[in-house]
Chain A
């Protein structure tokens, strides 16, 4: 990297800001995503852009990276007006972006992936050697010949970052980079970012995690409803004051009473299951008990067997030994999803569209899919009015913003559809609720509501199992925490007796004795790196 070393400071350098946006406006048919946004980023500064989902952060970043064309506004790059027509142009200017959902090609190798985003001259010749060199220099070890699909999410993120670094960026955009990392991996990432900033590279850091922004960033711009609502020095703010700027009010704190334990409703006893897809994770000898009246969380980086475990619990995959999964005391290993639901199981899958709900069907029809036992079907005929009534009540009770029971599931925003799905399951008065990533991609307000609904369920004496990648969420709502890594499960421990650091080490597989990697096949798809 041949960048001039500029001291890190809050002041804009003599040449003016590296990037200055003024009056950026982008309207979509139903919503103004960016409304006259001004933003400037100094050389070598780590600048946070803060806001809820739907505040316009991602649209603004796409404008800077040339993926989206703004309707109005000007962009100054190092003092000169530019029009960034496409990502290739952005890269030529020296703008790199690490996407929230990785833009990697799984079946290609690391070197091929990186070559795709470099221009012809840089992609040629000794690219693998340069990848090794840059990755070693920044402490991001990478093997250029590995296929991406055999890599963990942390490693994939390294590929994205190294890919940007090879373009000698002068502005790096990071879109929610830590959502899939263990706490230890986050610390490592921050070291890399601080080092880049010391070398003069500006960083735009998008996140809704307030602690991280306070730890890393020197300036923050807050967006709400597509407008800039504030700017501050996050190091001088508290998480609460940042949250107020972000959502325009206080976050509701969930109420958490002491657990009143009842009988064991879910017992997983020696569950072993081979992965059904070559890049999946096999489960080996899992043990877990969830009692009535408690919330048990399973932490872990995705791809460590969560998908397989959820399928084995919901009944999408059956296991040979009936006693490996016991629901409400009944051996259920060989029961299918419908039979397990009849025992009192409710299940909220990770994918809202496709598994949680049929996108093309109305909310009423989607309600019928799992709630048909609620007297919605008589003699084989659907009671249409009762179905619509059930959907309408769910919409009202859980504050779902939707056009009514006849609105298609795909017309709802992620958060609202999730509230509907969770509501649909809760209104069936389950004995055991299993929820996978219940607040993934849901805005802060809806997430708080969903968490509260799960806590209310527990207080009503239901057994609740939550699988999540969000440690904060698990610490907030769970009574006990288990950790899944490489298809193995660490014993659940009371949440108050543990901390993020310990859980982070467990997520990295510290509880697995060396040499027992039978949970993996072909490739360590679920491996975690610290």
Chain B
């Protein structure tokens, strides 16, 4: 039974960076903005979190710094794509490339540094309970934070007035403008939130999941997060499911590699990416769901012309 609990814990741990990044991107896209810079923002978040954690000695300070860094980088995107109305796809791709390069450069001196990362909870008494103890109380604190984020995003989008306004802006910025909502300001806020979430996802990787810095350590998870949002048809719970599916298959292929499978390791490494895309592509074929949930103005610049 302990192995089952261990598997669940590892699956959630592997899926958590995708949950953070994809939920952030989901909110951004719900406002009608397509920010393809997730991979870059995650890397910047990861490297800044690691540097701050190792120099200050506080991993939590590192997490905060990583979030801030992701948000700051996203503001570059916001200025270029929202205020200057550049093409969002090109700007987002450029941001990713920029983030990859910047993080590699800034992190050069920290490649072999060892830090004390954020450890899974160990609550005396509770975490030692058989099976449930580990399942309920044995996760990394940031994993619990991802649950909170999921609930908050779900409630914000579908229960709050502000979330309604955000969805309205993503559906038709012209109409939202006509009834008097500040479209550009709302989109800035959405991009900012997405950036902070990407930074948090990166920070989780570098100070909690594997407390070290390696160039390019995000390893395409930013792109997977982007794909998750689309294939999850912009529904938060599907994002969650997709992220854990990815985590589970990642884990399974590690096990297969460790047990000396005959399949070449490269193919096994592809598996989580393939499985996630295929499963989500199959469940997202319903065009009605897509029409009802996809932000209609996604990726289109908005000119508040009078």
Please report A residues at the B interface, Cβ cutoff 8 Å: 62, 66-69, 86-88, 91, 99, 102-108, 112, 115-117, 120, 123, 147, 149, 277-279, 522
Q: B285: shortest Cβ distance to chain A, in Å?
A: 12
Report the Cα distance A86→B180, complex, angstroms: 6
**B288 contacts A by Cβ under 8 Å:** yes
Give the A-binding residues of B (Cβ under 8 A).
Answer: 161, 164-165, 167-168, 171-172, 174-176, 178-181, 287-288, 291-293, 296, 306
Q: What is the bound-complex CA distance between A149 and B288, given in angstroms? A: 11
On whether the beta carbons of A106 and B296 are closer than 8 Å, the reply is: yes
Nearest-Cβ distance from residue B297 to partner chain A, whole angstroms: 10
**Chain A contacts of B291 at CB under 8 A?**
107, 149, 277-279
Contact in complex: A108, B287 (CB < 8 Å) = no
Which residues from chain B contact A87 at a C-beta distance below 8 Å? 178-180
Nearest B residue to A26, CB-CB: B306
Is A107 a contact partner of B292 (Cβ separation < 8 A)?
yes
Complex CA–CA separation, A67 to B293 (angstroms): 29
Cross-chain contact B178 with A103 (CB below 8 angstroms) = yes
Q: Pick the contact of B171: A99, A107, A123 (CB < 8 A).
A: A107
| Cβ contact of B179, chosen from A117, A123, A278, A522, cutoff 8 A | A117
B287 partner residues in chain A, CB cutoff 8 A? 277-278
Whether A68 and B175, one on each chain, are in contact in the complex, defined by CB atoms closer than 8 angstroms, is no
- Knowing A103-B179, A149-B291, say if A108 contacts B161 (CB, 8 Å): no
In the bound complex, how far is the Cα of B176 from the Cα of A149, in angstroms?
Answer: 17
In the complex the two chains form, is B306's CB within 8 Å of A105's CB?
Answer: no
Minimum Cβ distance to chain A for residue B267 (Å): 38
- Please give, as numbers and ranges, the residues of chain A lying within 8 Å of B174 by CB-CB distance: 103
**List of A residues within 8 angstroms of B175 by Cβ:** 102-105
Chain B contacts for A278, CB-based, 8 A: 287-288, 291
A74 to nearest B CB, angstroms?
19
Give Cα distance in the complex from A91 to B178, angstroms.
12
> Chain A residues with Cβ under 8 A from B168's Cβ?
105, 108, 112, 116
Partner among B176, B180, B306 whose Cβ is within 8 Å of the Cβ of A88 = B180
Please give the distance in Å from B38's CB to the nearest CB on chain A.
24
> Could you tell me the distance in whole angstroms from the C-beta of B21 to the nearest C-beta in chain A?
25
Q: Which residues of A contact B296 (CB under 8 A)?
A: 106-107
Cβ distance B177 to chain A, nearest Cβ, rounded Å: 8
**Least distance between B179 CB and chain A CB atoms (Å):** 5
Judge whether B292 and A91 touch: CB under 8 Å.
no
Q: Which residue of A lies closest to B174 (CB)?
A: A103
Question: Contacts A87-B179, A88-B180; is A108 near B306 (CB within 8 Å)?
Answer: no
Closest partner residue, chain A, to B178 (CB atom): A103
Known: A88-B180, A104-B175. A123 touches B292 (CB 8 A): no
| Chain B residues in 8 Å Cβ range of A103 | 172, 174-175, 178-179
B304 (CB) vs chain A CBs: closest residue: A67
CB distance from B256 to the nearest CB of A (A): 41
B176 contact set on A, CB distance < 8 A: 105, 116
Cβ–Cβ contact B180 & A107, under 8 A: no
For A120, list chain B residues within 8 Å (CB): 161
Once bound together, how far apart are the Cα atoms of A99 and B175, in whole Å?
A: 10
Contacts of A123 in B (CB 8 A): 161
| Distance of A117 Cα from B177 Cα, bound (Å) | 11
**Residue of chain A at shortest CB distance from B287:** A278
Which listed residue (B161, B172, B178, B292) contacts A67, Cβ 8 A? B178
Residues of A close to B178: CB separation below 8 A: 67, 87, 99, 103
A112 and B164 in contact (CB under 8 A), knowing A103-B175, A103-B179?
Answer: yes
Which of these, A68, A102, A147, A277, contacts B306 with CB under 8 Å? A68
Q: Which residues of B contact A522 (CB under 8 A)?
A: 288
Contact partners of A108 in chain B: CB under 8 A:
164, 167-168, 171
A67-B306, A116-B164, A278-B288 given; A105·B180 CB < 8 A: no
Of all chain B residues, which has the CB nearest A276?
Answer: B287
Q: How far is the CA of A69 from the CA of B306 in the complex (A)?
A: 8
Besides A108-B167, A123-B161, A522-B288, 15 other A-B contacts (C-beta < 8 A)? A62-B306, A67-B306, A87-B178, A88-B180, A104-B172, A104-B175, A105-B171, A105-B175, A107-B291, A107-B292, A108-B164, A112-B168, A115-B161, A149-B291, A278-B287
Ordered nearest first, which 4 A-B pairs have the shortest CB separation?
Answer: A87-B180, A103-B175, A88-B180, A68-B306
Are B165's CB and A116's CB within 8 A? yes
Q: Which residues of A contact B167 (CB under 8 A)?
A: 105, 107-108
Nearest CB in chain B: distance from A414 CB, A:
16
Q: Which residue of A lies closest to B167 (CB)?
A: A108
- Distance to closest chain A CB from B144 (angstroms): 32
- Shortest Cβ distance from residue B234 to the other chain A in the assembled complex, whole angstroms: 10
Q: Which residue of A lies closest to B289 (CB)?
A: A278
Residues B171 and A91 in contact, CB atoms below 8 Å apart: no
Closest residue on chain B to residue A148 by CB atoms: B171
| Given A69-B306, A108-B168, A278-B287, A116:B292 Cβ within 8 A | no
Count chain A CB atoms within 10 A of each CB in B167, B178, B296 and give the residue with the most: B178
| Assembled-state Cα–Cα distance A301/B306 (Å) | 30
Cα(A184)–Cα(B224), bound, Å: 54
Q: Which of A66, A69, A104, A107 counts the most chain B CB atoms within 10 A?
A: A107
Residue of B nearest to A59 (CB): B306
Chain A residues lying within 8 Å of B165, measured Cβ to Cβ, are 116
Indicate whether A115 sits within 8 Å of B164 (C-beta atoms), given known contacts A67-B178, A106-B171.
yes
Q: Known A107-B171, A108-B164; judge A147-B180 contact (CB<8 A).
A: no
Give the chain B neighbours of A112 by CB distance below 8 A: 164, 168
Question: Whole-angstrom distance from the CB of B185 to the nearest CB of chain A?
Answer: 13
CB neighbours of A107 from chain B (8 A): 167, 171, 291-293, 296
Quote the shortest CB–CB distance from B11 to chain A (angstroms): 33
Q: Give complex CA distance A4, B288 in Å.
A: 47
Assembled-state Cα–Cα distance A67/B180 (Å): 8
Residues of A near B161 (CB, < 8 A) are 115, 120, 123
Note all chain B residues with C-beta closer than 8 A to A68. 306
Return chain A residues, CB-CB under 8 Å to B293.
107
For this complex, 28 residue pairs linking A to B, each with C-beta atoms less than 8 Å apart, are A66-B180, A67-B178, A87-B180, A88-B180, A102-B175, A103-B174, A104-B172, A104-B175, A105-B171, A105-B172, A105-B175, A106-B172, A107-B167, A107-B171, A107-B291, A107-B293, A107-B296, A108-B167, A108-B168, A112-B164, A115-B161, A115-B164, A116-B165, A116-B176, A149-B291, A277-B291, A278-B287, A279-B291
CA distance A123 to B160 in the complex (A): 12
User: Roughly how many angstroms separate A112 CA and B292 CA in the complex, as a whole number?
Assistant: 14
Residues from chain B with a CB closer than 8 A to the CB of A116 are 164-165, 168, 176, 179, 181
Instruction: Give Cα distance in the complex from A102 to B293, angstroms.
Output: 20
Which chain B residue lies CB-closest to A99? B178
CA distance A107 to B288 in the complex (A): 10
Bound Cα distance A103, B175 (Å): 5
Instruction: Identify the interface centre among B161, B165, B175, B287: most chain A CB within 10 Å of its CB.
Output: B175
Query: What is the CA–CA distance of A103 and B179 in the complex, to the nearest angstrom?
Result: 8
Q: Name the residue on A nearest B175 (C-beta).
A: A103
**What residues on B are CB-neighbors of A106 within 8 Å?**
171-172, 296
User: For residue B172, which residues in chain A have a CB less than 8 angstroms away from its CB?
Assistant: 103-106
Chain A residue at minimal CB-CB distance from B288 = A278
Give the shortest distance, in Å, between B174 (CB) and chain A (any CB).
7
Interfacial chain A residues near B179, Cβ < 8 Å: 87, 103, 116-117
Report the bound CA distance from A116 to B167 in whole Å: 11
Which residues of chain A are within 8 angstroms of B306 by Cβ–Cβ distance? 62, 67-69
B residues near A105, Cβ cutoff 8 Å: 167-168, 171-172, 175-176
